[in-house]
Amino acid sequence: MLRSFLTRTRGRGRLDLTDWLTFGYLALAVVLMFGPVAWMALSSFKTESALQEYPPSLLPLAPIHVEVEGYDEPLQLFRVTGGEHEGKLLAQVRRIGLMSQMVDPQNPGERLQVNINDRVPEREFALAVENYSALFERFNFALYFWNSVFITVIATVITILFNSMAAFALSKYRFRGRTFVFILIIATLMIPPTINLVPIYLVVSELGMVNSPWGVIWPAVATPTGVFLLRQYMLTIPDDLLDAARMDHASEWRVYWRIVLPLSAPALAVLVIFSVMWRWNDFLWPLIVLTRSEQFTLQLALNSFQGDLQTSWSNLLAMTVLTLLPITIVFAFLQKYITTGIAQSGVK
Amino acid sequence: MKSRHLLSGIAFAALVAASSASAAELRFACYQDGVECDAWAEQFKAFEAENPGTTVAVDVVPYKSIVESLPLQLASGEGPDLARVTDLGGLAKYMLDVTPYVADAAKLEEQYGKTLAWTRVNGPDDKGIYAIMDQQTATGPFVNKTLFDQAGVDMPGEGATYEEWAAAAKKVAEATQTPYPMALDRSGHRYAGPAISYGAALFDENGDPITVDDGFRAFSEQFVAWNEDGTVAKEVWAGAGGATYQDAAKEFTNGSLVMYLSGSWQIGRFGRDIGDAFDWLAVPAPCGPGGCTGIPGGAAIAAFKHTKAPEELGKLLDFIAREDVQAKVLAKTKNIPANQALQVKGIDYENATDAEKAALTAFGNALAGFSPVAFQFQGYKNNRAIMNATVTRITQAIVGELSLDEALDRIDADVKEAVAAAQ
Amino acid sequence: MLAPVTTAASYLYRAAFELFERPMLAIQKMTGAQKIAWVFLLPNLLIFGLFTFLPIFLNFFYATSGSDRILLSERPYVGLENFSSLLACENYLDPNSCQRDIFWRAVHNTSWFVVLQVGFMILFSLVTALILNRNIPLRGFFRSVFFYPVLLSPVVVALIWKWVLQRYGVLNAGLEAQGLPIVNWLVEADWAFFWIVFVSIWAHMGFYTLILLAGLQAIPADVYEAAEMDGASKWRVFSKITMPLLMPTMVVVLVLSLIRAVQAFDEIFVLTGGGPGSATLLLLQFIYETGFAFRPQLYGLAAAASLLMAAVLMVLTLLQLRAARGRGED
């Protein structure tokens, strides 16, 4: 499947494509892009023991338990695949070593012996909602959601404001040091963010912002990517428009706020999306700055069950689905604006 | 930039207001593998009732936060008052000696002496009480008994060697068409157990690490060979790089592994996830020329120096160490006790199946017989340097990036450099 | 439902304008209309100075000091020792001959990764952009299909694929059901490397596709019409018109994707842990493990490695920009 995908796309370069190939490519893309996400979402509704199974079942299944007369607890139902009781549906009383003691639910009086290799559990479709409810029960979801929303919204507003002001200065004025400042800002993209964590923490700690949402917000708002993106876009706004406004005695602030900002809307939309995505997905930095659980973001809280020695896939998958859900919903509503916005702000 | 000061000012005021609400608020950064933090939070209610005015807030954090953020916070004088940690030696320099605040220091010494030693890094005169262990662990093997029964192979008894167990596990795997005879967690900590059993001394007479000696080399040769011939599940070690931890619990749980060299912390999980699918047992550690040992380990709750309420913190640590409190927490978390008195008495585990109880007892008994080298290794403050180097380099030998000799040389060099840097 | 939100937003927009207008006008009177540019730059530069430039500056001190201490005042000065130990090597093509063999393995892997990931990603992005630029039905939907993974956090991307690719994952189950041999995808070095390139393209190509699409849409339609009148072949149109006109956009894509590829880390670290062995261990993982994950934390070494990496990246970026300018198109 993959190979044909690769060779098929190679053929693209020659541009002798038919619509059939185009749609083959696009259909494959839908499967490849959404398939793994959908598979994970489905898996997140399986119980831990169902997740350990191989080969995995497509849908979440759970073993069937039946009430049998004479037994207090419901008994698990099996289909017998071999031996003298082959083909029967039996309930298991207990397993001892290699043999399983079973009863026929229709005839509970008689105990039957079945080898454990000769039976498979009967199962039915069932969602393991407990993967999710366990996460919800563990903490105050509303509080962490609010903390995340607060940080995301405030940081995004400040990012947009500061970055667009800087981009405006760098694209619409001529002054000494302009190129230097621009290169300086772009150069910071070269330093891997991981290595700056320790020095930034020292600065934040000096400023007394540890354990405050502002300790997460301020270090994040001056993004070089944002300045770069907005500057490139503002370069395409004709200067005549600005000069005309200045002739009418508009202040520089008015020029920026009333003319440049509205004209940059598509690029700003892109930055909004990116900023929301960055701040919402942020994990490592909040992990270092925030230690009090009442300040935690959703990402921190959801990760708090990650221990040293055990990974529980059922919780992990449920957590993953929960974190990508808000982003997916926002995207589904805004996808038209996002994709056209990015397409228009395409850096020239 | 007025707004920034204003805003951080407001945040600061809010913090001050929050902290002055009670006489002393102790913040406890806690990570958990199971229900450890929940169990403690429940017990702390009793502590708060006994000590009016003191409150304990449990902040459940990911383990990653304890490993990566906590050292940075502590170095800058920030961070929680107490935390559940595993790197005892490494964090010891930030820990508070609570001896002046506990009711009976001699009793704590008697009950926790063995593990208290792991935080005493200031030389032989250091008698401080810095951290109380709440999850004693022991490494050791689990076997899938049902597979042995199906194959009709007799399980090697106590005192059997690694080779005998490997041969038996291989026979079982072949007979039952199970993919993996054995597996060892990808961890330098787990590796040290068999290495010591093969005769590795790890330290010289001054207590400085020597790491690679004939015993260490012997087990490494054996382990690499086992990876090549499929005796151990190759993907556990070869499937990752660096010092990334990886276990084989999933393989054991779904019945595709005959013998699993892991540790006591898996018991609760096996009880829950395996259920009735097959019978499993904890068996005594296999032997080698150097003995039959596992490695002790675990997590402890440590108090930190920068706290504003050392007295309350001391009392809390005293409370945490109390026999009845430990017994209640351990009953919930299904761990073996670090407290000597409880080791003798035993714990009445809640909702534990017979298999879980048997395994917990088996590991508890095994712990008493561990080699002194194993305790020395766990108490050595730079033991993580040895573990990281072992995992990284042995994996390289397994996948063929380095020859075993090169790998062992690199382990030595890595450990030497790390120890020099840590001073 | 959206109406009150829009009203509130436009109210805030106007209120913010009025709030700042007077002070800004006063400042403008003092600075004049040109120098006010610095006032616009100021907030961003202040934040930058405090949380980006200052930390980078501090990193130079870390890079030239030793020990495992975190506070700078406690770290002994060691000069260029960290740099020289990273560069100590008999033969740069053979990591085993280097003092920091893992670092050099990471350099090798990263180089390969950058070449393959950037190369194939730009190829796929271009092909996709060309397709999406055609007049096809559901164009908006297909654009978002490619863009969706861009929104996922790296850890989520890695977990999704790990769940598919592991030994007992759904891909192997599918192969087995078809009677095909199964592969332990993340344990065999070459396959693991293939998958980290694949997954990283999967996660990021949507972004570059859209940028290229924008570039394609900026090409005026009359250029194509003229070429069609002359009877030029499709390949000729592509190579003589589309590609040259797309070049400026291509440079942006190349610069950004190269920086991202050199700094690739999270998704690969969670997916393979750098394994098997060190087959997929990239530079940033080396930096992360040396400075954070391992004990003792050799922070100076990690800082030195980052600065070396940043220097190389800077040179590469300037070269790209110069090459683009050398073509004389822009």
Mean model confidence pLDDT for chain C: 88
**What's the confidence (pLDDT) of residue B339?**
93
Q: Containing H/E element for A314? A: helix A313-345
- B277 to chain A: which residues are within 8 Å by CB? 49
Contact C287, C305 (CB under 8 A): yes
C70 touching B (Cβ < 8 Å): yes
Nearest C-alpha of chain C: how many angstroms from B365?
31
Q: Say if residue C194 is exposed, middle or buried (CB neighbours under 10 Å; 0-12, 13-18, 19+).
A: middle
Does the pLDDT at position A267 exceed 90? no
Would you call A291 and B249 a contact, using CB atoms and an 8 Å cutoff? no
C175 touching A (Cβ < 8 Å): no
Class of domain C92-326: mainly alpha
Last residue of a domain, one of B356, B375, B396: B356
Q: What is the pLDDT of residues C43-87, one digit of tens each?
A: 999 999 999 999 999 999 999 998 888 889 889 999 999 999 999
Q: What are phi and psi of A133, to 5 degrees?
A: -65, -30
B142 plus B226 within the same structural domain: yes
Q: Confidence class of residue C326 from pLDDT cuts 50, 70 and 90?
A: low
DSSP three-state, residue B233: coil
Q: What are phi and psi of C231, to 5 degrees?
A: 75, 30
In A116-162, beta strands by DSSP E: 119-121, 123-125
In a domain, B11, yes or no: no
This model of the complex carries an ipTM of 0.86
Q: What percent of chain C has pLDDT over 70?
A: 98
B162 plus B233 within the same structural domain: yes
Q: What is the pLDDT of residues A122-178, one digit of tens each?
A: 888 888 888 888 777 777 888 998 999 999 999 999 999 999 999 999 999 988 889
Would you call C275 and B234 a contact, using CB atoms and an 8 Å cutoff? no
Contact A289, A220 (CB under 8 A): no
CA–CA separation, A260 vs A255, rounded Å?
7
Mutation target for A interface from B15, B36, B40, B145: give the one with most A CBs within 10 A. Answer: B15
CA atoms within 13 A on the CB side of C123: 16
Nearest C-alpha of chain C: how many angstroms from B7?
14
**What's the confidence (pLDDT) of residue A77?**
86
**What's the confidence (pLDDT) of residue C230?**
83
Tokens linked to B390: 């072992």
Look up residue C6 and give its amino acid.
Answer: T
Contact B283, B142 (CB under 8 A): yes
Q: Which residue of B has its CA nearest to C85?
A: B417
**What's the confidence (pLDDT) of residue B273?**
84
**What's the confidence (pLDDT) of residue C287?**
93
- A283 to chain C: which residues are within 8 Å by CB? 153, 155
Last residue of a domain, one of B320, B335, B356: B356
Contact C130, C235 (CB under 8 A): no
- A254 to chain C: which residues are within 8 Å by CB? 17, 21
B281 plus B187 within the same structural domain: yes
Would you call C105 and B239 a contact, using CB atoms and an 8 Å cutoff? no
B278 plus B379 within the same structural domain: yes
B319 plus B191 within the same structural domain: no
Closest by Cβ to C170, choosing from A56, A181, A331: A56
Tokens linked to B400: 């063929």
CA–CA separation, B88 vs B73, rounded Å?
16
A201 touching B (Cβ < 8 Å): yes
Would you call B235 and C298 a contact, using CB atoms and an 8 Å cutoff? no
Does the pLDDT at position A63 exceed 90? no
B276 plus B201 within the same structural domain: yes
B351 plus B398 within the same structural domain: no
Would you call A211 and B32 a contact, using CB atoms and an 8 Å cutoff? no
CA–CA separation, B235 vs C276, rounded Å?
8
Contact B226, B374 (CB under 8 A): no
Tell me which chains share at least 3 CB pairs under 8 Å with chain C. Answer: A, B
Q: Which residue has the tokens 């164009």?
A: C139
Residues recorded for chain B: 423
A115 touching B (Cβ < 8 Å): no
Closest by Cβ to B235, choosing from C68, C187, C293: C187
**What's the confidence (pLDDT) of residue C120?**
97
Helical residues (DSSP H) of chain C, grouped into ranges: 2-48, 54-63, 81-87, 101-133, 139-147, 154-165, 170-177, 189-217, 221-229, 234-237, 243-262, 266-272, 283-288, 299-326
B384 touching C (Cβ < 8 Å): yes
- A168 to chain C: which residues are within 8 Å by CB? 40
In a domain, B39, yes or no: yes
**Span A274-295, mean pLDDT?**
90
Q: Which residue has the tokens 């809010």?
A: B14
- Domain with B243 in it: 138-296+358-422
Delimit the domains of chain C by residue range. 2-63, 92-326
In a domain, B6, yes or no: no
B to C CB pairs, distance under 8 Å: 112
B64 plus B117 within the same structural domain: yes
Would you call B78 and A214 a contact, using CB atoms and an 8 Å cutoff? no
Q: What is the pLDDT of residues C183-195, one digit of tens each?
A: 989 999 999 999 9
In A161-305, beta strands by DSSP E: none
- A257 to chain C: which residues are within 8 Å by CB? 16-17, 20
Q: What is the pLDDT of residues B257-273, one digit of tens each?
A: 999 999 999 998 899 88
Would you call C277 and B418 a contact, using CB atoms and an 8 Å cutoff? no
Closest by Cβ to C277, choosing from B76, B395, B418: B395
Q: What is the pLDDT of residues A102-116, one digit of tens each?
A: 888 888 888 888 888
The vertex-C146 CA angle with C145 and C148, nearest 5°, equals 65
Estimate to the nearest angstrom the gap between the alpha carbon of C51 and the chain centroid.
Answer: 21
**What's the confidence (pLDDT) of residue A232?**
80
B3 touching C (Cβ < 8 Å): no
Tokens linked to B118: 């792991």
Q: What are phi and psi of C68, to 5 degrees?
A: -105, 15
Contact B194, B184 (CB under 8 A): yes
Would you call C291 and A163 a contact, using CB atoms and an 8 Å cutoff? no
CA–CA separation, C293 vs C285, rounded Å?
10
Number of Cβ within 10 Å of residue C326's Cβ equals 8
CA–CA separation, A348 vs C248, rounded Å?
6
Would you call A310 and B61 a contact, using CB atoms and an 8 Å cutoff? no
Look up residue C271 and give its amino acid.
Answer: L
C15 touching A (Cβ < 8 Å): no
Q: Which residue of C has its CA nearest to A18?
A: C131
B73 plus B197 within the same structural domain: no
B395 touching C (Cβ < 8 Å): yes
B258 plus B403 within the same structural domain: yes
Q: What is the pLDDT of residues C30-47, one digit of tens each?
A: 888 788 899 999 999 999
B176 touching A (Cβ < 8 Å): no
Nearest C-alpha of chain B: how many angstroms from C167?
9
Would you call B273 and A52 a contact, using CB atoms and an 8 Å cutoff? yes
Tokens linked to C156: 């989520």
**What's the confidence (pLDDT) of residue A9?**
40
Domain CATH number, residue B107: 3.40.190.10
Contact C320, C122 (CB under 8 A): no
- B250 to chain A: which residues are within 8 Å by CB? 52, 313
Would you call C279 and B399 a contact, using CB atoms and an 8 Å cutoff? yes
Number of domains in chain B: 2
CA atoms within 13 A on the CB side of C11: 6
Which of A171, A342, A330 lies closest to A267 in space, CA to CA? A342
**Span A17-28, mean pLDDT?**
81
B146 touching A (Cβ < 8 Å): yes
B275 plus B326 within the same structural domain: no
Residue segments in chain B with a per-residue pLDDT below the cut of 50: 1-22
Would you call C130 and A15 a contact, using CB atoms and an 8 Å cutoff? yes
Q: Which residue of A has its CA nearest to B274?
A: A49
CA–CA separation, C73 vs A32, rounded Å?
52
The neighbouring-strand residues paired with B281 are B143
Which of B189, B180, B91 lies closest to B142 in space, CA to CA? B180
Sign of CA dihedral A337, A339, A342, A348: negative
Which phi-psi region, left, alpha or beta, contains residue A208 (left: φ > 0; alpha: ψ -120 to 50)?
left
Closest by Cβ to B150, choosing from A98, A207, A212: A98
**What's the confidence (pLDDT) of residue C201?**
96
A308 touching B (Cβ < 8 Å): yes
**What's the confidence (pLDDT) of residue A8?**
41
Which of B244, A23, A301, A83 lies closest to C142 in space, CA to CA? A23
Q: Which residue of B has its CA nearest to A304?
A: B62
- C187 to chain B: which residues are within 8 Å by CB? 234-235, 238-239
Q: What is the pLDDT of residues C149-162, one digit of tens each?
A: 988 888 889 988 98
Tokens linked to A82: 């071999």
CA–CA separation, B180 vs B258, rounded Å?
7
B110 plus B246 within the same structural domain: no
CA atoms within 13 A on the CB side of C141: 9
**What's the confidence (pLDDT) of residue B30?**
95
**What's the confidence (pLDDT) of residue C327?**
56
Q: What is the pLDDT of residues A293-327, one digit of tens each?
A: 899 998 888 888 777 777 677 888 888 888 888 87
Q: Confidence class of residue C117 from pLDDT cuts 50, 70 and 90?
A: very high
Last residue of a domain, one of B334, B356, B378: B356
